[in-house]
Amino acid sequence: NNSMLASVTCTAPVNIATIKYWGKRDENLILPLNSSLSGTLHQDDLKTTTTAVASESFEEDALWLNGKKEDVNSVRYQNVLKTIRSRATKLMDKKHFVHICSINNFPTAAGLASSASGYACLVYVLAQLYGVEGDVSSIARLGSGSACRSMFGGFVKWEMGTKADGSDSIAVQVAPESHWPDMNIIVLVVNDKKKETSSTDGMQRSAQTSAMMKERCATTVPERMVTIERAIQEHDFQTFGDITMKDSDDFHEVCATTDPPIYYLNDTSRYIMNLIHRYNKLAGSVRCAYTFDAGPNACIYLPQESVAEVLSLFLKHFPAGEGVQNYYRGTDEVFAKVN
């Protein structure tokens, strides 16, 4: 087809926050109230695959997510598209539109960070298509805050920044994929339905009403960021796991102290939390650590040496089809690796 200008395909993995982003200081630019930190999964595990095609024969911009047409006129898609086009070094001479197809290999909007891999992937393909140079994590951030952290592998922090224009609110790699090769993540899909309270609504309400937010943003998170970064550098799983669970607990406490309260966890989630605390206590050390985003599904960080035992523990407590619907798996069909 002569009118075809260009096509780019890429995949982007999900990231799982250990220090949670919750609350914005600017809703339009998506600037957070606190810095956050996450591990990016391996490319082959939970991921989005996106293709973008630019053509003169298209009559409008269009986007399909898992085969369903989305509204590209939403503020977030428009902010991303406009920013990409304003920084373009390619495709500038001819009038054209883009068609974008995006597919997740895991449940969308179930608290499994689908927006993170989704916008990271979208921004990456568009940046390739349009020849955008320099940091593009700040463009991914315009789509979904946590997406900026999926622009890098390994462990990644999103520095909240202080500038009003958001130019210093960017993702920075703390350690590459190769740094902690025996770190794993097991995902327990408790429920794959769409969550009731979107993170956008939830954050806004928490920032306005939860009395816990002030201290969390002023001292708790800044201190944890320093400690967890050091733990990652030193491969200190005890500290890493301890902070990861505490920050997840605090995040859900913030939600519970929001008016009206938001409950993302369910009985199965709490059962998993108890199980992990009991197991760690019996082992006499932190052998695995849970974290929950805006949904009931558990993400379990654990070093390779714990994988066999922890998996057998989960399989014993959740035989297939009872409560936990699925285990997400890496190459050996058992678990998702964090790098």
Q: What token pair was written down for 230? A: 């050091």
Angle at CA of residue 329, ends 18 and 9, nearest 5°:
85
Least gap, CB of 271 to ligand PMV (angstroms):
21
Q: Which two tokens stand for residue 263?
A: 């409950």
- Kindly tell me which residue out of 144, 258, 297, 306 binds ligand PMV, with binding defined by CB under 6 A: 144
Q: Does 169 bind ligand PMV (CB under 6 A)?
A: no
Q: Please, is 156 exposed, middle or buried when counting C-beta atoms within 10 Å of its C-beta (0-12, 13-18, 19+)? A: buried
Q: Is position 17 an interface residue for ligand PMV (rule: CB under 6 A)? A: yes
Site string for ligand PMV, 57-76 (x = CB under 6 A): --------------------
Nearest CB to ligand PMV, comparing residues 116 and 126: 116
Q: Which is nearer to ligand PMV, 9 or 198 (CB)?
A: 198
Binding segment for ligand PMV (CB under 6 A), chosen from 19-27, 82-90, 100-108, 271-279, is 19-27
- Secondary structure (DSSP) of 195-236: PSS-HHHHHHHHHHH-TTHHHIIIIIHHHHHHHHHHHHHTT-
Among 23, 34, 35, 36, interactor with ligand PMV by CB under 6 A = 36
Binding-site member from 10, 12, 14, 21 for ligand PMV (CB under 6 A): 21
Question: Does the footprint of ligand PMV cover residue 34 (CB under 6 A)?
Answer: no
* Three-class secondary structure of residue 307 per DSSP: helix
Binds ligand PMV by CB under 6 A, chosen from 145, 153, 154, 241 = 145
- Subset of residues 74 to 113 that bind ligand PMV, contact rule: CB under 6 A: 113
Label residue 131 left, alpha or beta by phi (over 0 means left) and psi (-120 to 50 means alpha). Answer: left
Stretch of 140-148, 204-212, 271-279, 321-329 contacting ligand PMV, by CB under 6 A: 140-148
Q: Is residue 199 within the footprint of ligand PMV (CB under 6 A)?
A: yes
Which residues on adjacent β-strands are paired with residue 303? 183
Which residue's CB is nearer to ligand PMV, number 88 or number 256?
Answer: 256
| Cβ–Cβ < 8 Å for 185, 41 | yes
Can you tell me which of 45, 177, 247, 293 binds ligand PMV, judged by CB under 6 A? Answer: 293
* Choices 72-80, 143-151, 217-225, 253-261; region in contact with ligand PMV by CB under 6 A: 143-151
Residue number, 50 or 199, with CB nearest to ligand PMV: 199
CB within 8 A of 252, min separation 6: which ones? 264, 265, 292
* Alpha carbon distance 291, 285 (integer Å): 17
Instruction: List strands edge to edge, sheet with 68-70.
Output: 4-13, 47-55, 97-104, 62-65, 68-70
Residue with the two structure tokens 């309270």: 197
* Residue ranges binding ligand PMV (CB under 6 A): 17, 20-22, 36, 113, 115-116, 144-146, 199, 293-294
